A and B are shown apart, each in its own frame.
Chain A
Amino acid sequence: MVSRTDRRAAAAARHRLLPGGRVAGPMLWIIAIMMFLTVLAAAAGLGLGAAVRSMSADLAGRASVQVVEANPKQRDQLAARALTALRGADGVRAAAAVDPALLADQIRPWLGEEATSGDLPLPALIDVTLTPGDADAKVAQLRRLLGGLSPALRIEPHAAFLLPLAGLLSALGWLAAGVVLLMTLATGAVVVLAARGAHDSHRGTIEVLHLMGSTDVQIARLFQRRIGLDAMLGSALGFAFAAFVILLIGLRLSATGSELLGAVRLPPIGWAVLALLPVAGVMLATLAARWSVLRALGRAL
């Protein structure tokens, strides 16, 4: 049975077959930079995806009913009738009148103090939460119901307001996924070039090993191990920097207090996916190195 010391000595002897230090020059730093950018792009994609999903879930089941009536008394009566009708309607989980004071507060920055003077007729608002299911059909049904009560009642699904924004976020998410894919291809190409360069610069040693009976796989293992180690170090560095930047951006987004920007947050599963990227990077580098060295060796006798 081979002892652990013996195995270590054998491994150390194998590692000495290629010169000390890194085999592929600046590859470690290139991989670190690529991993940094890949993790950032992936985080952006995952964060935006989460934001779109959260926004869709929040908005799909909500609508606002406006009571557009200039006469305050009639407006209040109509709002009360609409509220009663909504609470009794199928597909409505909850309906609540928006406090006119809150409404006035929200429009004060644009309209000034006149907004609360009573001279300016403001519509009454009712927030409606729908039961889960086909929101479009339910909104259409409520539109018919409210239209029967009064033409001054208008219902607007919230999803309609933010549909273009959700589309933009979704497109940015896909763009980030594309960037991750391109970075993966570029990393593979860098490793292939580095492995070819390393193979060329150690041609003499490889020839001697071949003539002593080394198999292609034995020689390729030397390179894939060295390049794999470089990739591991580079990936770890890139990931660490990227994680730091992501945490920093997360803190800044939270500090804005914006509900919209706050939705762009990385879920725990997102962190798990990001943590897999360096592992995938090392595997990609190792396989690319092995493939490229075996291919180069295959051209020799």
Chain B
Amino acid sequence: MSAIVQFENVGLRYGLDSETLSDVSFTLAGGGFYFLTGASGAGKTSLLKLLYLAQRPSRGVIRLFGEDVVTLPRKRLPGFRRRIGVVFQDFRLVPHLSAYDNIALPLRVAGMEEGEIDAPVTEMLGWVGLGDRGQARPATLSGGEQQRVAIARAVIGRPEILVADEPTGNVDADMARRLMTLFEALNRLGTTIVVATHDLPLIAQVSGAQMMRLDKGRLADPTGSLRYPPRQQGTE
């Protein structure tokens, strides 16, 4: 499969601090399923921010969908962002919108007609087990429910790349399994999935997924080659 994401010697520095990410180079193939692991503070969230275009790197080259997005003019970024779904670690639900409207947000941003929005949003609400909570505001939802809304919002637009930062951090094991099943289903439809997680058993659930490990802002494998999940590594 062709490369959908390419990082070449990417470095990221916030202000005058030392680099949060250093010399990060890797390639993700379109349609792949990738896990990003590493200890807290290793730079997982920073790397994901570069991936979903919330941040520009301090140095290096990032190519998304075959285009260099580091030098991309600002006005072209929205078009790229619409092709990427994001599950934020802190959910970032819009507090004054209902669960329904939060999930519908990417479709409305993309300009979908209102009449075409209801069916997919209702279906998605049902899928994440919130069929009867559509009109609830985020503040009235539990952490797990908020996370499910955030996931539904990220996947509803059928993005080409789905980036999820600790997507199962607040849900029980059963819901975590269901979410992974959803991600796998999306992956089978061609979406490239990138999930940052500490949850090693979760990684082991997804067959064929590959893993990157960050250590103090650097990819643990300096060659940038991707490893199979720990279970397979352990048997090597």
Question: Is B104 located at the chain interface by the 8 A CB criterion?
Answer: yes
Which residues does chain A contribute within 8 Å of B113, judged by CB atoms? 2, 6, 10
- Contact across chains for A16 and B101 when beta carbons are under 8 A apart: yes
Question: Is A131 located at the chain interface by the 8 A CB criterion?
Answer: no
- Contact across chains for A211 and B86 when beta carbons are under 8 A apart: yes
Nearest CB of B to A216, in Å:
8
Nearest CB of A to B185, in Å:
22
Interface size grouping (class) on chain B: 20 to 34
Given A6-B113, A214-B78, A301-B54, residue A19 in contact with residue B105 (CB < 8 A): no
Which one of B78, B92, B108 contacts A13 once the chains associate, using CB atoms below 8 Å?
Answer: B108
- Contact across chains for A6 and B114 when beta carbons are under 8 A apart: yes
Question: Is B205 located at the chain interface by the 8 A CB criterion?
Answer: no
| 26 A/B residue pairs, CB under 8 Å, sorted by A | A6-B115, A9-B114, A10-B108, A10-B113, A10-B114, A13-B101, A16-B97, A16-B101, A18-B96, A19-B96, A20-B96, A204-B92, A204-B94, A205-B94, A207-B92, A208-B94, A211-B52, A211-B53, A212-B86, A212-B106, A213-B110, A215-B75, A215-B78, A301-B54, A301-B55, A301-B74
Question: Is B148 located at the chain interface by the 8 A CB criterion?
Answer: no
Nearest CB of A to B147, in Å:
15
A20→B56 CA distance, assembly (Å): 34
Taking Cβ atoms with an 8 Å cutoff, the residues of A that contact B are 2-3, 6-7, 9-10, 13-14, 16-20, 204-205, 207-216, 218, 298, 301
Q: Please provide the chain B residues from 190 to 223 with a CB less than 8 Å away from any CB of chain A in the complex.
A: none
- Contact across chains for A213 and B97 when beta carbons are under 8 A apart: no
A216→B75 CA distance, assembly (Å): 8
Question: Is B173 located at the chain interface by the 8 A CB criterion?
Answer: no
Taking Cβ atoms with an 8 Å cutoff, the residues of B that contact A are 52-56, 74-75, 77-82, 86, 92, 94-97, 101, 104-106, 108-110, 113-115
Which residues does chain A contribute within 8 Å of B96, judged by CB atoms? 16, 18-20
> Across the two chains, which residue of chain A brings its CB closest to B56?
A301
A301→B115 CA distance, assembly (Å): 32
- Contact across chains for B77 and A212 when beta carbons are under 8 A apart: no
Nearest CB of A to B180, in Å:
23
> Across the two chains, which residue of chain B brings its CB closest to A215?
B78
Which residues does chain B contribute within 8 Å of A214, judged by CB atoms? 78, 109
- Contact across chains for B54 and A213 when beta carbons are under 8 A apart: no
- Contact across chains for A213 and B78 when beta carbons are under 8 A apart: yes
Which residues does chain A contribute within 8 Å of B80, judged by CB atoms? 213
A210→B104 CA distance, assembly (Å): 15
Which one of A6, A17, A205, A212 contacts B82 once the chains associate, using CB atoms below 8 Å?
Answer: A212
Which residues does chain B contribute within 8 Å of A7, judged by CB atoms? 114
Which residues does chain A contribute within 8 Å of B109, judged by CB atoms? 209, 212-214, 218
Nearest CB of B to A201, in Å:
12
Nearest CB of A to B134, in Å:
14
Which residues does chain B contribute within 8 Å of A17, judged by CB atoms? 94, 97, 105, 108
> Across the two chains, which residue of chain B brings its CB closest to A18?
B96
A301→B49 CA distance, assembly (Å): 12
> Across the two chains, which residue of chain A brings its CB closest to B74?
A301
Nearest CB of B to A159, in Å:
63
Nearest CB of A to B136, in Å:
15
- Contact across chains for A210 and B97 when beta carbons are under 8 A apart: no
Which residues does chain B contribute within 8 Å of A211, judged by CB atoms? 52-54, 81, 86
Which residues does chain B contribute within 8 Å of A205, judged by CB atoms? 94
Which residues does chain B contribute within 8 Å of A213, judged by CB atoms? 78-82, 106, 109-110
Nearest CB of A to B60, in Å:
16
Which residues does chain B contribute within 8 Å of A10, judged by CB atoms? 108, 113-114
A207→B54 CA distance, assembly (Å): 9
Nearest CB of A to B137, in Å:
11
Nearest CB of A to B103, in Å:
12
Which of B75, B79, B94, B115 has the most C-beta atoms of chain A within 10 angstroms of its own C-beta? Answer: B94
A14→B55 CA distance, assembly (Å): 27
Which of A19, A209, A212 has the most C-beta atoms of chain B within 10 angstroms of its own C-beta? Answer: A212
Nearest CB of B to A249, in Å:
45
> Across the two chains, which residue of chain A brings its CB closest to B81?
A213
A20→B95 CA distance, assembly (Å): 12
Nearest CB of B to A13, in Å:
6
- Contact across chains for B108 and A14 when beta carbons are under 8 A apart: yes
Which one of B79, B81, B108, B114 contacts A210 once the chains associate, using CB atoms below 8 Å?
Answer: B81
Top 3 nearest A-B pairs (CB, nearest first) are A213-B82, A213-B81, A9-B114
A273→B203 CA distance, assembly (Å): 71
A136→B208 CA distance, assembly (Å): 103
Which residues does chain B contribute within 8 Å of A16, judged by CB atoms? 96-97, 101
> Across the two chains, which residue of chain B brings its CB closest to A13?
B108
Nearest CB of A to B46, in Å:
14
> Across the two chains, which residue of chain B brings its CB closest to A300?
B74
A207→B74 CA distance, assembly (Å): 14
Given A13-B108, A215-B78, residue A301 in contact with residue B53 (CB < 8 A): yes
A215→B95 CA distance, assembly (Å): 21
